[in-house]
């Protein structure tokens, strides 16, 4: 969660008008970190790292836009123009292959790579890896869980079919299931999680090879279709993203919600009367005999190939993703990338369900690690929106063709 910037930390930060990229101040290299919008936890990490560097280098933050698509657009434009202002980048996990293939981020040397992946979930390391090479340091992670009303549902369902059955048996006005059905990245995440949980994948063994085997693809689409046409579907499902679903759940209209860990603190602070009846459980399975493989989110740290101070930037990135700084970031709702930290009392305080969260990250799935991922996601969104229009058999075939076109640069229709 992102908090207002306080006066205490403002001296550690700069906006877009700060020092010239790659410059040195008094002989000290300035590492400019292009980061997601301001939050106190990252500012504290910068303060700590600058103190530990003891004058060897200094980090300054440049804030990217709030919207993830706008973040990517700004970075792609500037990196493609060989902008030397950028040293360090907060990279959404879905950007790894695109930025690596374009030559915009440096591969991590073996010794440095070993240091920043030690103890990190293998599933999270996979989000930072392309063509068997680490291109970013895991900073944090994230995965959805199932949230439910314990006063309405004594025991959490195990599968999607069970959840829909239970919700349909509850009184109208309290029985909605909140999912992300808007035409945006969250819709792709929902499909990818269902597909992976059914044993499938969007992309094959080669980056330009489509996956989408018929049986798991149709099964994933059957779940989406049933959910969207169910009496438990929110009337606004096709317009809802994560926060709209959270607000609807808090209003009391919903029995279930699939969403990220940020909702716990949001509900605890803005709807405290609900916290005692808030249950959390594993994301529902597709196959009752196979745990769900939920799509991982989060951010990694990439070193720009245009950096004038690559060694200092690698050092700065290594410090920013240190175990202590990941614990601090947990206070802002960002789950650590290092497995052992889920036993830390400070992390447990922020995530009382930390063991469940760890289990889901361990079993997590990635979105396609492909330079064409942006087009792949757009293809999914175009075919599967609105969710109540899904035809499992026909759309499975259409998806296969559209994603094959995206992977092989044949354009989107």
97 burial level (CB within 10 Å; 0-12, 13-18, 19+): buried
Residues 267 and 378 occupy one common structural domain: yes
Region 228-249 average pLDDT: 97
Show Cβ contacts of residue 81 under 8 Å, excluding neighbours closer than 6 positions: none
**Residue-level pLDDT at 10:** 33
Residues 149 and 58 occupy one common structural domain: no
What's the chain's length in residues? Answer: 413
Residues 221 and 86 occupy one common structural domain: no
In a domain, 224, yes or no: yes
Res 393 pLDDT > 70? yes
Residues 291 and 301 occupy one common structural domain: no
Choose the weakest-confidence range: 69-73, 134-138, 339-343, 393-397: 69-73
Helices (H), 54-109: 68-80, 96-101
Res 321 pLDDT > 80? yes
Residue-wise pLDDT for 345-369, tens only, equals 999 999 999 999 999 999 999 999 9
Give whole-number Cα distances, 322 to 54, 172, 209, 305, 341, in Å: 17, 48, 36, 22, 11
Which domain does 94 fall in, by range?
10-138+297-362
Tell me the C-alpha distance between 287 and 352, whole Å.
27
Residue-wise pLDDT for 31-90, tens only, equals 999 998 878 899 999 999 999 999 999 999 999 998 888 999 999 999 999 999 999 999
In a domain, 3, yes or no: no
> pLDDT confidence of 205, banded at 50, 70, 90?
confident
**Residue-level pLDDT at 207:** 79
The answer to whether the CB of 374 falls within 8 A of the CB of 298 is: no
Residues 77 and 175 occupy one common structural domain: no
Residues 163 and 246 occupy one common structural domain: yes
Number of structural domains, the chain?
A: 2
**Residue-level pLDDT at 16:** 38
276 burial level (CB within 10 Å; 0-12, 13-18, 19+): exposed
- Read off the tokens for 70: 């706008």
Which of 130, 126, 95 lies closest to 337, judged by CA?
126
The answer to whether the CB of 392 falls within 8 A of the CB of 402 is: no
The answer to whether the CB of 133 falls within 8 A of the CB of 100 is: yes
Res 24 pLDDT > 80? no
Within 10 Å of residue 83's Cβ, how many Cβ atoms? 15
In a domain, 4, yes or no: no
Which of helix, strand or coil describes residue 308? coil
Show Cβ contacts of residue 346 under 8 Å, excluding neighbours closer than 6 positions: 327, 330, 331
**Residue-level pLDDT at 3:** 32
In a domain, 237, yes or no: yes
Residues 256 and 341 occupy one common structural domain: no
Residues 178 and 239 occupy one common structural domain: yes
Mean pLDDT estimate for the chain: 92
Residue-wise pLDDT for 264-308, tens only, equals 989 999 999 999 999 999 999 999 999 999 999 999 999 999 999
**Residue-level pLDDT at 109:** 98
Residues 335 and 283 occupy one common structural domain: no
Tell me the C-alpha distance between 99 and 371, whole Å.
7
In a domain, 255, yes or no: yes
* Residues above pLDDT 90, as percent of the chain: 87
φ and ψ at residue 195, rounded to 5 degrees: -60, -50
**Residue-level pLDDT at 38:** 72
Tell me the C-alpha distance between 341 and 324, whole Å.
9
Residue 282, domain CATH:
3.40.190.10
The answer to whether the CB of 363 falls within 8 A of the CB of 200 is: no
Residues 253 and 341 occupy one common structural domain: no
Residues 91 and 200 occupy one common structural domain: no
Residues 187 and 288 occupy one common structural domain: yes
């Amino acid at each position: 969660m992102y908090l207002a910037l306080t006066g205490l930390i403002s001296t550690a930060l700069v906006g877009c008008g700060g020092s010239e990229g790659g410059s040195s101040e008094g002989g000290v290299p300035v590492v400019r970190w292009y980061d997601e919008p301001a939050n106190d936890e990252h500012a504290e990490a910068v303060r700590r790292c600058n103190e530990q560097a003891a004058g060897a280098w200094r980090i300054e933050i440049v804030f990217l836009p709030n919207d993830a698509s706008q973040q990517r657009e700004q970075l792609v434009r500037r990196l493609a123009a060989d902008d030397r202002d950028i040293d360090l980048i907060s990279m959404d996990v879905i950007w790894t292959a695109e930025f690596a293939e374009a030559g915009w981020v440096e591969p991590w040397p073996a010794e440095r790579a070993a240091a920043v992946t030690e103890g990190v979930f293998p599933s999270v390391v996979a989000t930072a890896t392309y063509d068997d090479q680490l291109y970013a340091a895991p900073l944090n992670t994230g995965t959805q869980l199932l949230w439910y009303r314990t006063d309405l549902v004594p025991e959490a369902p195990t599968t999607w079919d069970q959840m829909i059955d239970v919700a349909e048996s509850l009184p109208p006005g309290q029985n909605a299931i909140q999912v992300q059905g808007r035409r945006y990245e969250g819709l792709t995440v929902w499909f990818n999680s269902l597909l992976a949980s059914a044993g499938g994948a969007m992309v094959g063994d080669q980056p330009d090879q489509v996956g989408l085997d018929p049986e798991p693809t149709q099964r994933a689409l059957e779940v989406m279709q049933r959910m969207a046409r169910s009496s438990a579907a929110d009337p606004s499902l096709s317009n809802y993203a994560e926060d709209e679903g959270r607000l609807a759940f808090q209003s009391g209209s919903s029995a279930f919600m699939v969403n990220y860990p940020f909702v716990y603190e949001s509900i605890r602070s803005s709807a405290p009367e609900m916290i005692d009846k808030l249950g959390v459980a594993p994301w529902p399975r597709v196959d009752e005999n196979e745990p769900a493989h939920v799509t991982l989110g989060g951010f990694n740290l990439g070193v720009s190939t245009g950096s004038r101070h690559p060694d200092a930037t690698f050092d700065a990135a290594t410090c920013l993703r240190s175990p202590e700084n990941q614990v601090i970031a947990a206070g802002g709702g960002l789950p650590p990338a290092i497995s052992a930290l889920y036993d830390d009392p400070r992390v447990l305080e922020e995530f009382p369900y930390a063991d469940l969260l760890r289990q889901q990250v361990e079993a997590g799935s990635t979105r396609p690690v492909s330079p064409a991922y942006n087009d792949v996601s757009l293809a999914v969104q175009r075919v599967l929106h609105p969710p109540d229009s899904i035809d499992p058999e026909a759309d499975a075939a259409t998806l296969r063709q559209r994603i094959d076109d995206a992977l092989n640069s044949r354009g989107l229709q």
